[in-house]
Amino acid sequence: MPRIAPSACVDPAAELADDVEVGPGCYVGPKVRIGAETRLLPNVTLLGRTDIGARNIFYPGAVIGAAPQDLKYQGTDTRLVIGDDNIFRESVTVHTGTEIGGGITKIGDRNQFQIGSHVAHDVSIGNHCLLSNQVQVAGHVVIEDAVNISALTGIQQFVTVGRYAFIAGLARVTTDVPPYLIYGGFDGAVIGHNEVGMRRWKFSEDQIARIRELYKLLYSKKAGRSGATISDRLAMAESNGALTEHEKYLMAFLKRTLHDGVFGRHLERARRDKQLPPPDFYKSTGA
């Protein structure tokens, strides 16, 4: 049987694996499902239609599965799906999806969400990502695998963050972030290649060197002074001979953003809310 503290409130309709631990002061709603060996430390709140995998840990004050803050949300029974082995530190918040965004927020495996970070509606996060303190992720964002986001970063709606990217602290992310590279600054720009991260993930020296040279060709000060556009530089890179898997992926990512994107975000073109009537919030107050 699950180990449930006397002061916790677990709705009888909730589904808990036999070895789940629910600490004092927790609340678990009726549509929540919790997998094996998951632990809720004191004062965790789990709401909504939330499916949680195995061996996750939720620290005090986390509120998971609350309704979206999107003003267009109509109250439908949307979902949040969380994989295995994730850590949600103090005061982390994660919301379910919206009707127009597909109805689901998804988090993969082995991610860590540090104090006060927020994951909004319809976000998709891969595996092995780290969101540091107070990272704020807006709706409809996609974060691929093995991404490291430093503290106090804000990510705008419909941004895609490529795998193995690193985002520096206090960054304002308004455009897609290319994989394998470092992004930072208030105005948001590529400022380096993520050599430290690639080493940690056991990239070979040759793979790292190839990404380093591609970064120089695309983003270095010398490349900027050449007068060639980023599209021209991509064409030059493609003409340099055989490419590795990682080089091909980086260039495909950039082409997708450049050719299909709007305002530097390729997902922006697919958004479906532009033709909707204004939400009730904006209706006349009678003044």
Question: 177-216: per-residue pLDDT in tens?
Answer: 999 999 999 999 999 999 999 999 999 999 999 999 999 9
How does pLDDT run across 63-115, given as a tens digit for each residue? 999 999 999 999 999 999 999 999 999 999 999 999 999 999 999 999 999 99
Residue 278 confidence (pLDDT): 79
How does pLDDT run across 126-166, given as a tens digit for each residue? 999 999 999 999 999 999 999 999 999 999 999 999 999 99
Residue 28 lies in a domain: yes
How many residues in total does the chain contain? 287
Note if 121 is an active site residue: yes
18-25: list long-range contacts, CB under 8 Å, 24+ apart.
none
- Measured N-to-C along each axis, helices 245-260 and 230-238 cross at an angle, to the nearest 10 degrees, of 150
How does pLDDT run across 21-60, given as a tens digit for each residue? 999 999 999 999 999 999 999 999 999 999 999 999 999 9
Residue 177 confidence (pLDDT): 98
Secondary structure (3-state) at 207: helix
Secondary structure (3-state) at 2: coil
Q: Enter the tokens of residue 155.
A: 């990510």
Q: Enter the tokens of residue 77.
A: 């029974």
Residue 197 lies in a domain: no
Residue 269 confidence (pLDDT): 92
pLDDT at 20 over 70: yes
Q: Is residue 253 a contact partner of residue 233, using CB atoms and an 8 Å limit?
A: no
Residue 287 confidence (pLDDT): 54
What dihedral angle (degrees, nearest 10) is formed by the CA atoms of 152, 260, 68, 156? Answer: 20
pLDDT at 223 over 90: no
Mean pLDDT of the chain: 95
At 226, is the pLDDT very low, low, confident or very high (cuts 50, 70, 90)? confident
27-28 β-sheet, strand order: 9-10, 27-28, 45-46, 63-66, 93-95, 118-119, 136-137, 154-155, 172-173
DSSP state of 62: -
Question: What span, in angstroms and rounded, lies between the C-alpha atoms of 234 and 218?
Answer: 7
Residue 204 lies in a domain: no
10 Å CB burial of residue 244 (0-12, 13-18, 19+) is middle
Q: Which structural domain range is residue 120 located in?
A: 3-140
DSSP state of 267: G
Note if 122 is an active site residue: yes
Residue 221 confidence (pLDDT): 86
Residue 38 confidence (pLDDT): 98
For residue 26, what is the domain's CATH number?
2.160.10.10
Annotated catalytic residue, options 85, 109, 122, 145: 122
Annotated catalytic residue, options 118, 121, 140, 246: 121
Residue 57 lies in a domain: yes
Annotated catalytic residue, options 23, 83, 139, 261: 139
Residue 49 lies in a domain: yes
Angle at CA 224, nearest 5°, toward 220 and 225?
Answer: 115
Residue 266 lies in a domain: no
Please give the C-alpha separations between residue 269 and each of 37, 222, 274, in angstroms, as whole numbers: 41, 32, 10
Q: Is residue 51 a contact partner of residue 70, using CB atoms and an 8 Å limit?
A: no
Residue 54 lies in a domain: yes
pTM of the model: 0.96
The number of folded domains in the chain is 1
Residue 279 lies in a domain: no
Q: Is residue 43 a contact partner of residue 73, using CB atoms and an 8 Å limit?
A: no
